[in-house]
Amino acid sequence: MTTNYTALPEPLPALVEALHGFGGCIGVRTCTSSDGMIAVFAWFESKQAAERWYFSKTHWSTINTYFPDLKPGIPLKHVPSDVGPILVIASFTPINGQGSNSSIEWKQDGASRTLDASKPFPFKQASIELYAPIFGGVSFGGHFGPNDLKVRKPHKYRGRITVESIS
């Protein structure tokens, strides 16, 4: 699938295009929210597929363009190996007007540190978040996830279910 992503700020067009052809990535969507945040939704078939993307040349060459001293960590270390599919949401808020970030506060696993950018970083906010889809919901005429998305059905619940009204 070839789509024109030139409306996205650099370096996102090349990353999104690479995700479309990446083995184990079963779907990609992008959107811009009303407050200007750009989100890239990438569905991976498994933890292993998401890890392959994390360590890919495309992903790390983009990161190292801005932060050459940043080295790969242990991705998805809190995610069990049998989890999948995984929805990775990468969100970015561009810096409007002139200017860019030359240093950012990087937060990961409860720790933070300041990273100095070798090239002006064009975003004032960036985050990567992981989600696992759950069975349920309803759709007509299509759905948000990719057609190849397979969601595990939950085990049958054998206990008593009670519903309480909040009023």
Enumerate the domain spans of the chain. 12-131
CA distance 84 to 1: 23
pTM exceeds cut of 0.75: yes
CA distance 107 to 103: 13
Give 98-148 pLDDT, tens digit per residue. 556 666 776 766 677 777 777 777 888 888 999 988 877 777 787 788 888
DSSP letters, 38-72, are EEEEEEESSHHHHHHHHTSHHHHHHHHHH-TT---
pLDDT of residue 122: 82
CA distance 147 to 135: 15
pLDDT greater at residue 10 or residue 81: 81
pLDDT of residue 71: 81
Query: pLDDT > 70: what percent of the chain?
Result: 78
pLDDT of residue 165: 46
pLDDT of residue 101: 62
Residue 42 vs residues 24, 89, 111, 165: alpha-carbon distances, Å: 10, 6, 26, 36
Domain 12-131 in this protein, CATH class: alpha beta
CA distance 62 to 75: 17
